[in-house]
Structure 1
Amino acid sequence: MICCLNPDCPNPLNSDGTKICETCGTPLVKFLRNRFRVIRVLSDEGGFGRTYLAEDVDKLKELCVIKQLAPKLPGSWALKKAMELFQKEATRLQQLGEHSQIPTLLAYFEQDNYLYLVQQFIDGQNLSKELQFRRRGIGKQARLYAESEIKQILLDLLPVLKYIHQRGVVHRDIKPQNIIRRKKDRRLALIDFGSSKQLTARVQIKAGTSIGSHGYCPIEQIRDGVAFPASDLFSLGATCFHLLTGTSPFKLWTENGYNWVNDWRQYLSHPIDEQLALVMEKLLKKDIKQRYQSAEQAFNDLSSKPLDSPANESYEAPIFSPSGSNKYLKPQYLFFPLTAIAILGLGQFWYLQAQKFTTEFSSSVAVDNQTSKINQNKQRSQKFSLANTISGGLNSILSVAIGPDSRIVASNSNQTIKLWDTQTGREITTLKGHKSRVNAIVINPVRVSTPQGFGKIIASSSEDKTIKIWNLETGSKIRTITGHSDSVHALAISPDGKILASGSNDKTVRLWNLETGKEIRTITGHSSWVRSVAISQFSIGSENDNDINILASGSTDKTIKVWNLSTGKLIHTLKGHTQSVTSLAMSPGVKGRSPVLISGSADRSIKIWDLSTGELVRNLEGHTQSITSLAINPANKLSNNKTFASGSTDRTIKIWNISTGELISTLSNDGEAVSSLAYSWDGETIVSGSEDKTIKIWRLSH
């Protein structure tokens, strides 16, 4: 496979030998710098670039990680400044990479107007996945980390933190996902310095903009946008707390702010060694002045052998003094023109602008002042909790669907579809027949006529340009539907269960009779690839009481088109998104109420449209990266509190009130990007698929 390097391409993988990307039309680059062959995308930086896995052909195809910066900057000065900071960052990271537990910087360069950093690949598993593995009980009885293991993690990482802090660098995003246990020696490596900051620099982000992962980063990062060595120590303590208790600090933060750190011991399943407990207590102090000020202090309290300092190197903790005597950055240096770019290293790349906190993290005042608001929202929220995690196979989960009885979940697995039992997490069967990757799956809620009699069916679409119809109850293939001339990426079924709509890279939407497999009509009008479709039924206008089926299609041409399903006539063209429309969801029709269409885009926004008028009702912002999937709760169609869920590459699922646009709750995927969502018919379950190859089952708490 060859990977497209356009950071906005939604499906960058192409077959070997392809010259032009089949998805976005960008010319493909076989080798970067005639040396690095990009294999696949590891993560998306929300339009500012991507992280790729690659092979170094000069080193016998040794694996490496490539970070891409694709700055969309106004003016030549900003671009020049970005390149200058990028070069300085590369020099700094090259120095840090001299440590055996920090990835080595292999190269940095500019090519085709993009900037690249090439980094050593760490072969191993991060602690987040290691924890998931343990909790599933694979290979042995499910268990959390023992206190001896937590102590060893601290003893392994504290010297690494001492090393980077002595060089004036604060990581700012320490969490289980950014700590990898190497296969070769079981040592821990600290990765992803994308949020790191050189304390001696005179540029930092604007005050009030947080950097880091909520729950793991301390109050000074959230509230003031500043970080010090003691900030990293809090994050390390929160990481160890998660591994020791199995309780996510992010979840506790969203519910109670920083109150959890005062009584963190209540989450322990059993008492731990007092020496370790006292170290954890001091790492997790909310007040930075009461926290450990250096990694060396924590190490010495934990070990009988002091952590010796290298010769001729001194370590200085931050001093909070208005006199200007401290060498660390102070609040008056936090302001910087919005056009500037901070190139923050080998992880996420942040465009420096005064962004408001998303709804669940709103307010520019102290986090403690937000707690009461969060608790008020919690009282009226639909609260979901993780019930089960299913290992979905060897590939990213691009699509999930849940059966009418909520007992069966379907997911893609490269060229196949797998059916799972939601209660046990066990695989029921595998459906085989596609010749290339499966892109979309949909389950018909209505029994239809099949060659085996009336039954439930499942439809799947693929890169092989076909759609296949399967018997959900037997797993047998009913038929293969052909007609599209390019990859099929989107599927939807009409409310009566009789019509299947498909969207394709051939820029068309096709309608099919589900009982016969015959094409009803081809709908054209988009100027680029169709990536999402949705169907609903409602009455338009007060003068017409006849229900009609409405089809909506979203495209990489940045538009949404609304069609009369029966005639194929265009009703509305909806414009407003600035990037590809990646997902659509349509509310069930209810007479006397205006139906709504919800759209999600790579531009990070969610828009709600009135289909009666075609007008934009509301623009929702809260996700920090591309929207990948939307799902409306089908159980509350007669309620005034209709809800829907959104998934994003920012690794979260958010639940919203359709009528008010209020953010109700946020679920952390705690892994990789959320790529697909499905609601059960009773509204009690949400199923999510992820790029970390897992399927998560979320249950509504009563």
Structure 2
Amino acid sequence: MNRFSQKISTLHSDLLTNSKLGQLCGSKTLFRDRYAILRILGRGGFGVTFLARNVSLPGHPLCVIKQLCPKVSSPRSWQKAKERFEKEAKTLGQLGNHSQIPMLLDYFEMGEEFFLVQEYVRGCTLTREVRRNGTLSEAAVKQFLHEILPVLQYVHKNHVIHRDIKPHNLLRCEDDGRLVLIDFGAVKEELALIGEIEEKTTATTNFVGTMGFAPPEQFSLRPVYSSDIYALGITCLYLLSGKAPLEFDYDTNTGEICWQKQLKVSEHFASVLDKMLKVSVRERFKSANEVMFALGMESHLPHLTNCLAIQPTEIQGKTNSFEDNYSSYLPPFARTAIAIREWKAKLKSRQSRRKSRPYSSLT
């Protein structure tokens, strides 16, 4: 066993000993008279995640139980934490109606801890996929964006910022191949804010997110919808290179990530990634819609290039109208508008000529 394995074993041993659910791992004692705790799935700064079975349901389906531990000590802070937890849990419940977001099955508090019970998605994270199969091509990364951007659009439409998009929080479902977005940071950030007030610490103490994937505004606990766009852009770099964000160089003056010399992608896709990764919120894509539109424009670029390359032709002995010169590449609605204007001009000319003719006298 190497040092790393020893550290993992020690960590799991500590969790099994000190956490409420950890003590139930592998035992016959049920949590809340229905959940058989199987093993630890992971640990973060705000709690521990366990794999469990709901033995009260037919088939004993697997589920995920997240044990969240807010840092509060006074009854007043606890009540405030409880209210925020319930509010955010209900929001997560609404998001779970989407097929690419795990369904929230239950939420409750017990003792001084909060618990979320979610659908278990059997699959592999994109981090593990890259480690197993190698980096993705540009076409595969574009396909990834086409799969995940509508999910992000749905999340933002429900007034939620994920706050922790990264390859580790994106699962490829083994059953049907769909991409699933997991581990929303909204609940964790609300509980972090309570702990911050309780301890009277600075805002950066309870930062929610992952170093390298989170943009600057998120460090000051002021995330916006485009913060998720930035994290998604960093995720694309990982999929293309296999490198963690902190392995890239950064411009010391602007803070922008310097990736262009290390990765070869098409000019158009490079411009899309650049705008996703802008440090300035003003220069970054504001929404998933904008990114999808920019990606979709690539298919129209050859036609636009042809339009710009075509020059008006002049036929000897004939004065060509605007429509004659440009009808070969103008869109139909523009040609129709020009035809209407020319028809109106001719009609007006005929009417003016009629008015200018003298009336014949009666004899």
> TM (normalized to structure 2)?
0.68
Match of 1:267 in 2: 262
Higher helix share: 2
Q: In structure 2, what is the Cα distance between the partners aligned to 1:151 and 1:196? A: 30
Write the mapping of 1:54-203 to structure 2, written as runs, cut at 5 A. Answer: 54-57=52-55, 58-135=57-134, 144-195=135-186
Distance 1:77 1:244 in 2: 48
Alignment length (residue pairs)? 277
CA positional deviation for 1:4: 8.3
1:217 equivalenced with 2:210 (yes/no): no
Q: CA deviation at 1:68?
A: 1.1
Q: 1:228 aligns with which of 209, 224, 229?
A: 224
CA distance change for structure 1 residues 87 and 274 in 2, over 3 Å: closer, same or farther? Answer: same
2: CA distance, partners of 1:207 / 1:101 = 32
Partner in structure 1 of residue 32 of structure 2: 33
Q: Residue 227 of structure 1 aligns to a residue in which SS? A: coil
Structure 1 residue 266, shift from structure 2 partner: 0.9
RMSD: 3.2
- In structure 2, the partner of 1:240 is 236
Give the one of 275, 280, 291 matched to 1:287: 280
SS at 1:250's partner residue?
helix
Instruction: Please list the CA deviations of residues 559-610 of structure 1 after superposition, one character each: whole Å capped at 9, or x if unmatched.
Output: xxxxxxxxxxxxxxxxxxxxxxxxxxxxxxxxxxxxxxxxxxxxxxxxxxxx
- Opposite residue 168 of structure 2, the aligned amino acid is Q
CA positional deviation for 1:71: 3.8
Paired residue for 1:50?
A: 48
| Counterpart-to-counterpart distance in 1, 2:52 and 2:68 | 16
In the alignment, the residues of structure 1 paired with residue 34 and residue 141 of structure 2 have an alpha-carbon distance, to the nearest angstrom, of: 40
Once residues 26 and 119 of structure 2 are traced to their aligned partners in structure 1, the CA distance between those partners, rounded to angstroms, is 26
Cα distance change on mapping 1:258 and 1:195 into 2, 3 Å: farther
Structure 1: give runs of 5+ residues left out of the alignment: 18-29, 136-143, 307-702
**What is the CA-CA distance between 1:303 and the residue it aligns to?**
2.2
Task: Say which SS state the counterpart of residue 248 (structure 2) adopts.
Answer: helix
Alpha-carbon distance in 2 for matches of 1:153, 1:242: 12
Tell me the alpha carbon deviations over residues 421-449 of structure 1, each in whole angstroms, 9 at most, x when there is no partner: xxxxxxxxxxxxxxxxxxxxxxxxxxxxx
Verify the 8 A CA contact 2:89 2:187 in the aligned structure 1: no
2:137–2:240 CA contact under 8 A, matched in 1: yes
SS in 2 for 1:99: coil
Runs of 5+ unmatched residues, structure 2: 1-13, 197-201, 300-363
* Greater displacement, 158-167 / 208-217: 208-217
The one-character-per-residue Cα deviations of 1:406-428 (angstroms, maximum 9, x if unpaired) are xxxxxxxxxxxxxxxxxxxxxxx
Contact 1:103 1:120 in 2 (8 A): yes
Cα distance 1:35–1:73, how it changes in 2: closer, same or farther (>3 A)?
A: same
Q: Deviations over 1:260-287 (max 9, x none)?
A: 745311111xx32223222111101121
- What percent identity do the matched residue pairs reach? 38
Residue matched to 1:297: 290
- Is the Cα–Cα contact under 8 Å of residues 173 and 195 in structure 1 kept in the other structure? no
For residues 196 and 113 of structure 1, what CA distance do their matches in structure 2 show?
Answer: 16
Partner Cα separation in structure 1 for residue 80 and residue 16 of structure 2: 23
* CA displacement 1:460-516 (0-9 Å, x = unmatched): xxxxxxxxxxxxxxxxxxxxxxxxxxxxxxxxxxxxxxxxxxxxxxxxxxxxxxxxx
Residues 104 and 120 in structure 1, CA contact (< 8 A), matched pair in contact too: yes
Aligned-partner residue type, residue 109 of structure 2: E
What's the TM-score, normalizing by structure 1? 0.36
Alignment of 1:660-675 (within 5 A): none
1:250 Cα deviation (Å)?
A: 2.6
The alignment partner of 1:288 has SS state of coil
CA deviations on 1:333-366 (whole Å, 9 max, x unpaired) are xxxxxxxxxxxxxxxxxxxxxxxxxxxxxxxxxx
List aligned pairs for 1:328-339, cutoff 5 A.
Answer: none
Inter-CA distance 52–198: structure 2 relative to 1 (3 Å threshold): closer
1:158-205 deviations in whole A, cap 9, x for unaligned? 111111111211111111100111112222111001356899xx9997
Of Structure 1 and Structure 2, which has the larger fraction of its residues in strand? 1
With over 3 angstroms needed to count, the CA separation of the structure-2 counterparts of 1:55 and 1:15, relative to structure 1, is closer
* 1:14-29 correspondence to structure 2 within 5 Å: 16=27
Q: Per-residue deviation at 1:301?
A: 1.1
Provide the C-alpha distance between the structure 1 equivalents of 2:252 and 2:118, rounded to a whole number of angstroms.
36
> 1:245/1:305 Cα in 2 relative to 1: closer, same or farther (>3 Å)?
closer
Q: What letter is aligned with 1:278?
A: S
Partner of 1:671: none
Q: Is the 8 A contact 1:172 1:196 kept in 2?
A: no
Secondary structure of 1:303 counterpart: helix
d(CA) in 2 for partners of 1:81, 1:162: 30
One-letter amino acid matched to 1:235 = A
- Any idea what the Cα deviations from partners look like across 1:664-698, whole Å, max 9, x if unmatched? xxxxxxxxxxxxxxxxxxxxxxxxxxxxxxxxxxx
CA distance in 1 between counterparts of 2:294 and 2:203 reads: 34
Give the conservation status (yes or no) of the 8 Å contact 1:13–1:40.
no
**1:417-496 mapped onto 2 (5 Å cutoff):** none
One-letter amino acid of the counterpart of residue 132, structure 1: R
Query: Does the 8 A contact of 2:63 with 2:120 survive in 1?
Result: yes
| Secondary structure of the structure 1 residue equivalent to 2:278 | coil
Give the secondary structure class of the aligned counterpart of 2:164.
coil
Evaluate the alpha carbon distance shift between residue 305 and residue 59 of structure 1 in structure 2; reply closer, same or farther with a 3 A threshold: farther
CA distance in 2, matches of 1:62, 1:230: 36
Bigger radius of gyration: 2
Q: Is the 8 A contact 1:7 1:50 kept in 2?
A: no
CA distance in structure 1 between the aligned counterparts of 2:67 and 2:253, rounded to whole angstroms: 35
Cα 1:149–1:69 shift into 2, 3 Å: same
C-alpha distance in 2, partners of 1:156/1:96? 17
